Structure 1
Amino acid sequence: ESLTSINKNQISSVIIDFNKHEKVNPIKDTNASILTHMLTTFSNLEYLNFCPSSIWNYRLFFWNPYPHISSSTLLELHISLIRFTDCLYILDGRFIKLQSLHVDINSISIPLSKLININQEKLPNLRSFSLYCGMATTAYDKLILPLLQRMSNLENLRLNILVYDKNQFIDGNDLKENILNHMLQLERFEFYICSDFYFYNQIDFPSKEDIQYTFKDFKSDQVICYIDYFEENQRSLCHIYSYPYILKYYDIITNNFPGGLFKYVREVELYDERPFEHEFFLQIVQSFPFIKELSIKNLKPQNKKFCKESENNKYDFMIIKYSYLTNLTLYYAHDDYIEEFLIDTNICLPNNSLHLNINYEQRKRVTHNFTRDLTRINCAKLNSLCLNGDQLPIYAKDYFPQL
């Protein structure tokens, strides 16, 4: 039914989404115009979800001069943005009744130029706020905390962020002093925060128990903490999160991951400088049974490999089933992990629903120039393929019949 035949004053909720793999030139982006049109067309709009898929090409960004976007009725907004300054623009008073804001931001970084015409007043009407950023930020103290401290009447808060280059881990004391003490009405605080610092030749490190102790007075059901120390890069990571875990994303999972059930998580990133063995991928699918998007960043070869082509198999591995996987990214993965997912006796992939991101040369090596029988079944299941700018040769088309 067309918009012209609908009584626009009766529309109170709108969801706008886009084709996930459609190619769009960001320079010709018209999303701000679409948003403006929605807000002016539906004069009684109370709920708007703009691009829940969080696709880069469809994230909103606002350039100076900023478009005139406002609403006197909107109560709840879900939106995907490119920059943190776009979030500040949303919160500068143009949505006077806004009570709930859920933001997925591509990048949180300090702008090169001084911010102007940005309202820094308190946000007394805001009751619920959710912030996710998949890219690590160094602006936790200068951007994220000042924004949160404006939300004095917040009742529900969700944070899913990666914080880099701090001189100490973010712990319960940090959260209490810089966030919770500014939100006396807060009832629910759900979070995953991964913070890192480079320890170089430092000897005295905070322990898991030290970090865990700082959460002894938290109201959350449970707070889980674990710490990674990477000797090669002289880098340390501290993961803290509330449990039960109801967030959509879980970034930077390592071999130290303590397990648990995360039935709401749909997107996962694995990273380590130690090998991921086959059993680790079984643990991942058991902990994240409904995982849809998986990214693996690990350049270390596996210690234990299983391959039917070898006559000296020492291990009897269980076939792991990733039933709901729709997107797999292996750009920064050792060939062993590409084999792990492409050999059907290791992992069973869903049929005709999986998009694979992989480097062409790796794909060529692992499939033995697209002739290897052991990887043929899972390659035949692929729905789409991105080779990081390269093209699949014509002679390999039969190896991927559904592309």
Structure 2
Amino acid sequence: MTQPNVSLLDLSDEILLIILKKLDNTDVLYSLLDVDNQRLNTLVHDKSFTNTINFVLTTITDDVLSIADSILDQFCISILPKIDYTIKSLVLESESMERILLSADYPNLTELTLYNVNDHIVSHHFTVESPFRRIFQEKITDLILVYNRDIHTLSMNPDSKYVYEYTLKLFENLQHLSVIQCGRLLSIDDLSSTTWQSINLTKLCVDVWRFNDCFALLDGRLKQLNTFIVNINYTSDDLSNVYNMDDLPDMKCFSLTCCCETNEYDTRVLPLLRRMIKLEELTLDITNDERTSFIDGTQINDEILVHMPCLRKFIFHIRTKVELRHLTHYASNEDIQRTFTNIGYQQVCCVLNYIVGNVICHIFSLPFAFDYLGYIGNIFPPIDFSRVKELDVHDKIPFEHEYFIRIARFFPLLKELSVINFESQSQTRDNLVSNNDELYPTVEYPNLISLSFQCSHVDYVEQFLNERKTHLSHLTKLMVDYKKLRIVTKNFTRNATRRNCAQVKQLTIDETIMHTKEFYNYFPLLLFCFCYD
């Protein structure tokens, strides 16, 4: 283009549509629909642009709430009734669900995602008396419920046990159901085999209480299920009920997250996997405690892979904790790595960590694909851990300043960090003599919101709260021993630690005490102060 003044409307329809799709669709619709320009009005009605409406409102202040309500009113009155025939997917905040769903007919709506859900919303709206019954019963095939983890109303609701049943019964055509971050774990092992039935459900993502519940879901009541993503919270159960343990030839994709004690990996996990004889994709995130040997490539091949001839994608992180006195066969990192090379798996990593009479062995596929990594020590591989949001570090050897520089580099999106180490930093001892904080380059953790020093030497409280060593711009949750906090902050008067404490809204300490004026000035945004045992 050589024209000196080119406006947006000088671009072709194809380029304009590409630009609009790069923007937030709700903002574009609110700004451009019904403007005095027929061409723009036609473009924002384009089906490929309006088939998914993402309308999740975050209301923080009264001013924001007022603006959000104004936008929502405009959408419900002027916009949604005009484009509802193009909408196939809605992403909503639960509090705005009623206003949006009642504002139009949505003849082609099939997918619904609800944020900040709790069991009261489900039990109130997912019934035959619901004003959305027709939409839910006849239209929705894909449903994602994202629960608010900070709202725990389930224990107060006598009908909470049946929340999932409400959902399956009402959404008659449901094919995909995902329940994320639910405060209550699904428990159906004591219910009749006629409950939790569906002839249409093909994909299920859910947290369950025990292995019994997992086996119950796979006993034939969900006959069309081919994708199952499950997190088992508590694996130590006696399997007192008898379940159908036939093969699952229709299962194509399976993901399991669980923590096993003693022999539960061998008696629960492996028999379950062997039923999936035509599995194509497998994801395992498993913690094993109290074993006498490590899980390695040879064991995985002989106990899992040879039973899955159709498997084409295998993602895993398996952590095994063994007491040194019970270890039947010692193996180095290289030894374990070699067991994967021998079976043709090259993109695998192994990390061993020795902690107070125990050795913890991590084996995982590359790239690392999980959001939590627990109990790594001073030695970890220099690879990309950008998927990790929550990390526990634990060692009997001190973590020096350079270690936390490496953590910041290889875990760039880290949000939650727990430091477990009772040994003093040698660099901190040297620095106390020189009294020169400039010895340390400042570590940046731009995404870190939660820190735990519940089992840590006072040096690590100093390491993170001293802004000359670490910069924490978004720290909102802090768990720390109160005496150590007083030492590091010099009774809440030290300027060097004030900045990293200024954003804290939730403080968990080990004492219930009356706090001073200096304490509250030090934590000006504090909303909650808890005491842990």
TM-score higher than 0.5: yes
User: In 1, distance between residues paired with 2:398 and 2:417?
Assistant: 17
CA distance in 1, matches of 2:430, 2:197: 59
Q: Tell me the equivalent position of 1:137.
A: 261
User: What CA distance in whole angstroms lies between the structure 2 residues aligned with 1:334 and 1:165?
Assistant: 27
Q: For 1:332 and 1:24, how far apart are their aligned partners in 2?
A: 31
Partner of 1:33: 162
**1:223 aligns to what?**
348
Does the alignment pair 1:385 with 2:510?
no
Alignment partner, residue 135 of structure 2: 7
The code of the aligned residue for 2:377 comes to T
Instruction: Classify 1:187/1:360 alpha carbon distance in 2 versus 1 (closer, same or farther; 3 Å).
Output: same
Q: 1:308 Cα deviation (Å)? A: 8.6
Which stretch of structure 1 is more off in the superposition, 119-128 or 135-144?
135-144
- RCO greater where, 1 or 2, for CA within 8 Å and sep 6 or more? 1
Deviations 1:103-122 (A, max 9, x none): 2222222x2x4421322221
Normalising by structure 1, what TM-score? Answer: 0.88
Q: Distance in 1 between matches of 2:265 and 2:430?
A: 45
Contact conserved, 1:360 with 1:388, CA < 8 A, in 2? yes
- 379-388 or 276-285, which deviates more: 379-388
1:202/1:62 CA distance change after superposition, 3 Å: closer
| TM-superposed deviation, 1:363 | 3.1
Distance 2:184 2:150 in 1: 11
What secondary structure, in the 3-state scheme, does the structure 2 residue paired with 1:17 have?
strand
- Superposed CA deviations along residues 331-357 of structure 1, whole A, max 9, x for unmatched, are 222222222222222221133x62223
**Corresponding residue for residue 103 of structure 2:** none
Q: Identify which of 196, 200, 203 aligns with 1:69.
A: 196
Shift of the 350–47 alpha-carbon distance from structure 1 to 2, 3 Å rule, reads farther
Q: CA deviation at 1:10?
A: 1.2
Aligned residues: 394
Of the three residues 325, 334, 352, the one matched with 1:200 is 325
* Alignment check: 8 A CA contact 1:127 1:153 kept: yes
**Cα distance in 2, alignment partners of residues 252 and 302 from structure 1:** 19
String of CA shifts for 1:6-55, please: whole Å, max 9, x gaps: 6122112222223333355747575542211111121111222212x36x
Query: Per the alignment, in what secondary structure is the counterpart of residue 439 of structure 2?
Result: coil
AA aligned opposite 2:278: N
Deviations for 1:87-126, whole angstroms, at most 9, x for unmatched residues?
A: 22222222211111112222222x2x44213222212111
Residue 293 of structure 1 contacts residue 325 of structure 1 at CA under 8 Å; is this kept in 2?
yes
Aligned partners of 1:175 and 1:121: how far apart in 2? 22
Q: For the structure 1 residues 362 and 35, does the alpha-carbon distance in structure 2 shift closer, same or farther, using more than 3 Å as the test?
A: farther
Quick one: distance in 2 between partners of 1:183 and 1:204?
28
State the Cα distance separating 1:195 from its structure 2 match.
1.4
- 2:396 corresponds to which of 249, 267, 273: 273
Task: State which of 335, 344, 363 in structure 1 corresponds to 2:485.
Answer: 363
> Which stretch has the larger CA shift, 234-243 or 321-330?
321-330
Residue pairs, 1:4-403, within 5 angstroms: 4-5=131-132, 7-8=135-136, 9-24=138-153, 26=155, 31-51=160-180, 53=181, 57-62=183-188, 64-65=190-191, 68-109=195-236, 111=237, 113-133=238-258, 135=259, 137-138=261-262, 139-200=264-325, 205-218=330-343, 220=345, 222-230=347-355, 233-305=356-428, 311-313=434-436, 316-351=439-474, 354-387=476-509, 390=512, 393=515, 395=517, 396-403=519-526
Output the amino acid matched with 2:172. Answer: S
* Residues 299-318 of structure 1: CA deviation (Å, up to 9, x unaligned): 22222128998643387222
Partners of 2:341 and 2:215 lie apart in 1 by 33
* Cα distance change, pair 204–389 in 1 and its aligned pair in 2 (3 A): same
The alpha carbon displacement at 1:191 in A equals 0.9
- Which letter maps to 1:367? T
Q: Using a 3 Å threshold, how does the CA distance of structure 1 residues 93 and 124 change in structure 2: closer, same or farther?
A: same
CA, structure 1 residues 147+342, in 2 after alignment: closer, same or farther (shift >3 Å)? same
Deviation by residue 1:184-230 (Cα, 9 ceiling, x = unmatched): 11111111112132223979722222211111144545111132334
Cα distance in 1 for partners of 2:496, 2:437 equals: 18
1:259-278 Cα shifts (integer Å, max 9, x gaps): 20022222222111111111
Q: CA deviation at 1:235?
A: 1.9
Q: Which moved more, 1:383-392 or 1:41-50?
A: 383-392
d(CA) in 1 for partners of 2:325, 2:294: 15
Unaligned runs of 5+ in 2: 1-96, 99-124, 126-130, 527-533
Q: Which has the larger radius of gyration?
A: 2
Shift of residue 156, structure 1, vs aligned partner: 0.9
Specify the code of the residue in structure 2 equivalent to 1:20. R
Quickly say closer, same or farther: Cα 1:170–1:356, change in 2 above 3 A: same
Name stretches of at least 5 consecutive residues in structure 1 with no aligned partner: none
Q: Deviations over 1:137-188 (max 9, x none)?
A: 3211111111111111111111111212222111111001111111111111
Give me the TM-score of the superposition, normalised by structure 2: 0.68
- SS of aligned partner of 2:207: strand
> Conserved in 1, the CA contact under 8 Å of 2:189 and 2:212?
no
Q: Which moved more, 1:97-106 or 1:58-67?
A: 58-67
Does the aligned pair in 2 maintain the 1:319–1:348 contact within 8 Å?
yes
Higher alpha-carbon deviation: 67-76 or 39-48: 67-76
Bigger mean CA deviation after superposition, 368-377 or 258-267: 368-377
- Report the residue type matching 1:91 in the other structure: L
Equivalent residues of 2:292, 2:328 under 8 A apart: no
Cα separation, 2, equivalents of 1:18 and 1:201: 41
Cα RMSD of the aligned pairs, angstroms, is 2.8
Q: What is the CA–CA distance in structure 2 between the aligned matches of 1:31 and 1:304, rounded to whole Å?
A: 53
